[in-house]
Amino acid sequence: MVLSARPQEIRTSSGPRSHAAPRPAAVQCPRRALLRRAAVQRAGAPAAAQQQPLPQPPPQHREWAVIESPASSQDGEAGGSGSGVTTAAEGFHPWRWGSRVHYYTAGESGPALLLVHGFGVGGHHFERNFADLSRRFRVFAVDLLGQGASWPAADEAGAVEPDPELGALKYSAETWTLQLVEFVRDVVGGGPVYMAGNSLGGYLAVNLAAGHPGLVKGLVLLNATPFWSFRADSGRRGLFEAAGLDGTVPVPRAVRATIERLWWRNLSSPGTVKSLLSLVYASPVDDERLLERILEATQHPGAIQAFASIVLSPKTKRSFDENVRRLDCPVLLLYGQSDPWVVPLWGQRLKRAVPHAAYYELSNVGHCPHHEAPASVNRVLCEWITAAEERLAAAAAGAGAFSSDSYDDGGVGPAKSGGGGAGLAAAAAAAAAAAVAAGDPLLVDGPLRVGESMSVKERSGVEVLITHVEGAPRNVFERADAALWALRRRLGGGGAAAPSAADARAV
């Protein structure tokens, strides 16, 4: 059974229903201070700026419904749930601009994991991940405002009532980042959480982690886009604002009509959506419901307003490069090798900027690995977060080793090249212990060491080779890019990251 596109709304008679787990009193933790000290010592740079203040939340209530979603894999496959379905909750919570934010949640215990989708889809894009992930984590997948089923209240002309604190609505990356910040606080329970973002979702997760480090325990980037929008945010009213070209809703009618004629009609057509899915997926898309959901969102009365605002809205206050240099939490890069947009070169750049990140590549997988290869992604993500939890706990306690007895790998152990007969659980625990002993609490390898691989067969029949790569360039274009990056660093424009072995070989 697939997720309902229009969920039944049930309001509890006893008041708000919260999915948040009890929040411990000392959530800001010695772990965060330890991570900050380690990052400063490693980079030789000043500590990141203080967290941005959080605006006050609106009044709360919850609407929810029970749904079922297909599991990502079958018995005997890596990460298989066996049951075929998992129970989840689908609901709304009120937010700014009179909006109702739609989200999914699954899992009753474990660390909180927030999944953030890419442009044009919604939280439903992670339905193939719910079954496996919810057995270990409290999983949340939210629809960004203006996408999926999250929309503001608007009149017939498309006007949205200004927020008392923030003013007019703009569908900008900063607005979406604020939405995620307040979702973590108001729905998840305050953080810190693990975040996994695909494409635009990865860009937003990095922006959030850089601006609010206390909310993020660890970061998983799934073919994250390194850029968004084309216009810088000047921070003051100028020509764009005066002309109504700053993304403020409602966008002037003439401007909106031009954007609709030049881009929107074509981009929102079934043929174009099908073509784009075929382009970014390495294998034929076998999910007709995905196409229906994407097209359904384009038919919302506010869809063209949202798209026009997105086109005109400014960039984030900090660049993506600046944000990644601020990251002081464990980071996993999980990238499909066959992505025509975010090609492996972008993953290598990110690895150079964040040396402590673990960089995994998936063969025969494109731009949306979580949907195209869910068993593979679930496998790595589950074991990486488990290893990160062990490392962070040990680092906070000053311990130097763990026992692998408490690590549950589900009884599945795919063969690893160069891994001998040891199970993945023991390997993950050993890697975590080694990193702590080496004094780097941010370094989390996950189930594989650098150079190791494992193979997972997806339900689609595609065999995916998962490899923990060093991130070194492999062709002339990648070598040239690495050399230019190293030169830029030497000239003072490359940030605080230490040079890697890959940089040394490139030059």
Distance (Å, whole) CA 204 – CA 171: 13
Quickly state the pLDDT bin for 261 (edges 50, 70, 90): very high
pTM of the model as a whole? 0.76
What radius of gyration do the chain's Cα atoms show?
22
Reply yes or no: is the peptide bond before residue 111 cis, omega within 30 of 0. Answer: no
At 179-222, the pLDDT tens digits run: 999 999 999 998 799 999 999 999 999 999 999 999 999 999 99
Q: Which helix (H) or strand (E) element contains residue 332?
A: strand 331-336
Find the length of the chain: 507
Structure tokens at 152: 């503001």
Task: Indicate whether 242 pLDDT > 70.
Answer: no
The strand order across the sheet containing 331-336 reads 10-11, 63-70, 85-94, 100-106, 138-142, 112-116, 193-198, 216-222, 331-336, 358-362, 463-469, 453-457
What DSSP line would sit under 62-115, residue for residue? Answer: -EEEEEEEE-SS-TTSTT--SSSEEEEEEEEEE-GGG-EEEEEEE-SSSSEEEE
Distance (Å, whole) CA 195 – CA 115: 6
Secondary-structure class of domain 10-16+96-329 per CATH? alpha beta
At 83-113, the pLDDT tens digits run: 334 567 899 999 999 999 999 999 999 999 9
Cα 378 → chain centroid? 14
Task: Indicate whether 59 pLDDT > 90.
Answer: no
Distance (Å, whole) CA 411 – CA 391: 22
Domain(s) of CATH 3.40.50.1820: residues in the chain: 10-16+96-329
- As a whole number, mean pLDDT of residues 288-294 equals 93
Question: For position 287, what pLDDT does the model report?
Answer: 85
Phi, psi angle pair for 315, to nearest 5°: -70, 175
Separation in Å, CA 60 to CA 57, 202, 205, 316, 476: 8, 27, 24, 28, 55
Structure tokens at 438: 């080496």
Structure tokens at 141: 């997948």
Structure tokens at 343: 């090609």
Q: From start to end of 84-237, where are the E strands?
A: 85-94, 100-106, 112-116, 138-142, 193-198, 216-222
At 348-406, the pLDDT tens digits run: 999 999 999 999 999 999 999 999 999 999 999 999 999 999 988 887 776 444 444 44
For residues 459 and 79, the model is more confident at: 459
- The three-class DSSP label of residue 294 is helix
CA-CA-CA-CA torsion for 200, 203, 204, 210, nearest 10 degrees?
Answer: 180
Question: For position 307, what pLDDT does the model report?
Answer: 95
